[in-house]
């Protein structure tokens, strides 16, 4: 069913849940005092786009409700039609982790969605890539400059010989030496590096460039049964830098020849591993982009795919809504375990969850982390949660998984790649040029104004939901089809067209020495 687009000038707000006592202003650039909405509500002050106005009078200390949930209490009496900015909202405590309902509202599985396919690169281990990339691992930061030097030559001298290979990517990072390698939390960066090399987009071709004296032995990044996968700079057989670079080039050449044999073949949508993330969120994130992504995520789950959502500090304040959806007690407990681990991690650093919201979030109308979290978890759709991954663990299950990561865009992206993600859907309200070299990223704007202004950076405009141009269902289907197109290489997202990609960033919660 098509909805008639509303005229741009008509004042419009969005109320999401019948229990809500605030709504957000839709119109570009906001609305002035005196604006009358069709239902008779009159603004008593200017309200910027995406910010909240009170729908009724709210007493001091009374709950402020959005998404049907309490996002805080009023710090002073608020009149209907006033701007409810962050200063007028007192943030509630985070839900206690020992009192959560687990697996009490497990959604029934949705009917299977059959017949949807994409053109992917099937690997020997059964996984399927969406790109054909040579990923070269490093065991320590010391070798990064050398590898970058070699990759420049590989790209200009070797890559042209192998037209079926998309790219060569150095998996560089700041880990490997000068770190407490036996500390319990060192498992996170080490596991991440091990699993990154196994990302399906790299086709199982393993090559590690190491130094020789580092704490993280390069052997630890080579899976069992793989031989001759290490170039060690301090190896006494190398007579100088030129010989080292030649050795990297030769090793790369052999692997490029193998990767060049890969061909796309028709694969069921169930072979997809999709990561979901947001960055630069605004108050529309939970109204347009995240609901569209959530609808597409439900379709992917129905088609049998693996989908992961992440960002612990952005789900922590809505965790009570997630543990109920866990498929069983074990998965629910794993969710609680990851929240508790992160609470302790933040406490150790003298921070808490309120450190998450950025100045841009607040300018975009998000008053606090509770409001941000309620909008963020909408990405996970409505299906049951079938699994939980600790940071950097590889996904083995199908369905909707929670992959525990920090909310930092680059760290979340890196950890999702380690978990086997082959395509990421990234929602943004404020706008970001984010991209990953290892996997395509579809950027979804929460507002049409951003999608228009950044027409050559944003791939999908979910703002059409706010203007009434399209429904959540229609945008969800359109996004689902775009995911299949991008996974097939038929459509290139903007970050790949420009070749703008963020650095990999490891999550190292362990001490540095
Ligand atoms: Ca993020």
pLDDT one-digit tens code per residue, 479-511: 999 999 999 999 999 999 999 999 999 999 999
User: Ligand 1 centroid vs 311 CA: distance in angstroms?
Assistant: 7
Enumerate residues 6+ apart whose C-beta is below 8 A from 362.
86
Domain of 82, CATH number, reads 2.30.130.110
Cα-to-centroid distance, 309 and ligand 1 (Å): 10
Task: Give the Å distance between the CA of 197 and the centre of ligand 1.
Answer: 22
What does the pLDDT read at residue 3?
46
Distance between first and last Cα of the chain: 61
Side-chain-facing half-sphere of 490: CA atoms under 13 Å: 12
- Expressed as residue numbers, the domain containing 148 is 120-259
Task: Mark whether 52 and 150 lie in a shared domain.
Answer: no
What is the whole-number distance in angstroms between the Cα of residue 184 and the centre of ligand 1? 25
Count CB atoms within 10 A of the CB of residue 1.
5
453 and 346 belong to one structural domain = yes
Cα(283) to centroid(ligand 1), Å = 15
Distance in angstroms (rounded) separating the CA atoms of residues 55 and 9:
21
CA 48 to centroid of ligand 1, rounded, Å: 24
Question: 154 and 254 share a domain?
Answer: yes
**Separation of 288 CA from ligand 1 center, angstroms?**
17
Closest CA to 435 of 452, 455, 459, 453: 459
Residue 7 pLDDT class (50, 70, 90 cuts): very low
Burial degree of 4 (CB within 10 A; 0-12, 13-18, 19+): exposed
- CB–CB of 317/405 below 8 Å? no
Alpha-carbon Rg of the chain, whole angstroms?
Answer: 24
Distance of CA 505 from the midpoint of ligand 1 (Å): 13
pLDDT at residue 110 is higher than 90: no
| Count of domains for the chain | 3
Same domain, 383 and 485: yes
291 and 344 together in one domain: yes
For residues 178 and 512, give the distance between their C-alpha atoms in angstroms, rounded to a whole number.
6
**Does 1 have pLDDT greater than 60?**
no
Residues 249 and 279 in one domain: no
Residue-level pLDDT at 4: 45
With bands split at pLDDT 50, 70 and 90, how would you rate the model's confidence at 68? confident
Residue 212: per-residue pLDDT: 97
Let me know if residue 104 belongs to a domain. no
- Give the helix ranges, DSSP H, for 170-221: 187-196
Q: How far is the CA of 392 from the centre of ligand 1 (A)?
A: 16
**Same-domain status, 419 and 481:** yes
Q: Which helix (H) or strand (E) holds 314?
A: none
Residues 224-259 pLDDT 10s: 999 999 999 999 999 999 999 999 999 999 999 999
pLDDT above 60 for 5: no
DSSP letter, residue 204: T
The answer to whether residue 264 is domain-embedded is: no
Residue 231 Cα to ligand 1 middle (Å): 34
Rounded mean pLDDT, 296-320: 96
Provide the pLDDT confidence category of residue 8 given band limits of 50, 70 and 90: low
Q: Which residue do the tokens 């086997």 mark?
A: 420
pLDDT digits (tens, 9 = 90+) for 391-402: 999 999 999 999
Mean pLDDT of 431-454: 97
**How many CB atoms within 10 Å of residue 103?**
18
511 in a structural domain:
no
Task: State residue 48's pLDDT score.
Answer: 95
Q: Residue 44 is encoded by which pair of tokens?
A: 């008593």
- 366 and 451 inside one domain: yes
pTM of the entire structure?
A: 0.93
Give the Å distance between the CA of 446 and the centre of ligand 1.
Answer: 15
Question: 18 lies in a domain?
Answer: yes
DSSP bridge pairs for 426: 277, 443
Query: Minimal CA–CA distance to 126: which of 277, 232, 28, 271?
Result: 271
Residue 129's H or E segment, with its range, is strand 128-129
Same-domain check for residues 249 and 286 = no
- Distance from Cα 279 to the centre of ligand 1, integer Å: 4
| Structure tokens belonging to residue 490 | 């038929």
For residue 203, give Cα distances in angstroms to 97, 126, 142, 224, 286. 40, 11, 26, 16, 36
Do 333 and 393 belong together in one domain?
yes
Tell me how far the alpha carbon of residue 63 lies from the centroid of ligand 1, in angstroms: 28
pLDDT band of 299, cuts 50, 70, 90: very high
Separation of CA 66 and ligand 1 centre (Å): 22
Helix 472-487 with 289-302: angle, nearest 10 deg: 60
Domain shared by 442 and 415, yes or no: yes
Residue 75 and residue 198 in one domain: no
| Alpha helices (runs of H) in 433-471, residue ranges in sequence order | 448-453
pLDDT at 9: 67
Domain boundary among 74, 93, 112: 93
Residue 242 falls inside a structural domain: yes
Ligand 1 geometric centre to CA of 106 (Å)? 27
CATH number of the domain within which 154 lies: 3.40.50
- In a domain, residue 492? The reply is yes
Average pLDDT, the chain: 95
**What per-residue confidence (pLDDT) applies to 93?**
87
**Integer Cα distance of 122 and 504 in angstroms:** 24
Compute CA distances 457 → 111, 255, 426, whole Å: 35, 32, 12
Average pLDDT value for residue range 162-175 = 97
State the average pLDDT over residues 326-349.
96
């Amino acid at each position: 069913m098509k909805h008639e687009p509303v005229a741009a000038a008509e004042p419009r707000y969005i109320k999401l849940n019948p229990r809500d006592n605030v709504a957000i202003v839709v119109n570009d650039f906001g609305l002035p005092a005196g604006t009358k909405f069709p239902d008779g509500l009159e603004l008593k002050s200017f309200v910027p786009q995406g910010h909240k106005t009170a729908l009724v009078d709210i007493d001091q200390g009374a709950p402020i409700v959005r998404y049907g949930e309490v996002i805080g209490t009023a710090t002073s009496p608020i009149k209907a039609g006033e701007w409810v900015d962050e200063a007028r909202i007192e943030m509630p405590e985070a839900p206690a982790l020992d009192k959560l309902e687990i697996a009490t509202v497990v959604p029934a599985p949705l009917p299977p969605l059959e017949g949807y396919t994409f053109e992917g690169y099937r690997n020997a281990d059964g996984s399927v890539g969406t790109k054909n990339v040579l990923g070269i691992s490093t065991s320590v930061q010391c070798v990064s400059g050398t590898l970058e030097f070699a990759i420049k030559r590989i790209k200009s001298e070797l890559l042209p010989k192998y037209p079926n290979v998309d790219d060569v990517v150095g998996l560089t990072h700041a880990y490997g030496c000068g770190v407490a390698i036996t500390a319990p939390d060192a498992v996170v960066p080490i596991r991440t590096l091990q699993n990154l090399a196994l990302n399906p987009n790299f086709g199982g071709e393993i090559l590690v460039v190491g130094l020789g004296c580092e704490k993280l032995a390069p052997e630890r990044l080579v899976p069992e049964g793989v031989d001759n996968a290490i170039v060690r700079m301090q190896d006494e057989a190398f007579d100088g830098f030129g010989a080292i670079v030649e050795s990297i080039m030769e090793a790369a050449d052999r692997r490029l020849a193998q990767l060049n044999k890969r061909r796309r073949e028709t694969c069921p949508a169930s072979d997809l591993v999709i990561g979901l993330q947001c960055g630069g969120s605004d108050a529309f994130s939970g109204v347009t982009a995240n609901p569209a992504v959530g609808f597409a995520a439900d379709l992917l789950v129905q088609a049998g795919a693996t989908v992961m959502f992440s960002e612990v500090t952005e789900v922590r304040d809505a965790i009570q809504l997630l543990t109920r959806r866990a498929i069983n007690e074990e998965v629910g407990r794993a969710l609680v375990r990851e929240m508790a681990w992160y609470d302790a991690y933040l406490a150790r650093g003298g921070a808490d969850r309120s450190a998450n919201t950025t100045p841009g979030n607040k300018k975009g109308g998000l008053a606090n982390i509770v409001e941000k979290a309620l909008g963020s978890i909408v990405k996970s759709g409505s299906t049951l949660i079938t699994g939980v991954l600790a940071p950097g663990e590889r996904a083995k299950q199908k369905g909707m998984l929670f992959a525990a990561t920090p909310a930092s865009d680059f760290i979340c992206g890196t950890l999702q790649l380690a978990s086997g993600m082959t395509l990421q859907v990234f929602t943004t309200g404020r706008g970001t040029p984010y991209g990953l070299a290892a996997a395509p990223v579809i950027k979804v704007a929460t507002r049409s104004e951003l999608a228009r202004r950044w027409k050559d950076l944003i791939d999908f405009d979910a703002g059409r939901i706010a203007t009434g141009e399209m429904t959540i269902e229609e945008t969800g289907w359109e996004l689902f089809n775009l995911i299949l197109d991008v996974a097939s290489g038929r459509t290139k997202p903007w970050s790949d067209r420009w070749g703008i990609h963020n650095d990999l960033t490891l999550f190292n919660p362990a001490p540095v020495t």
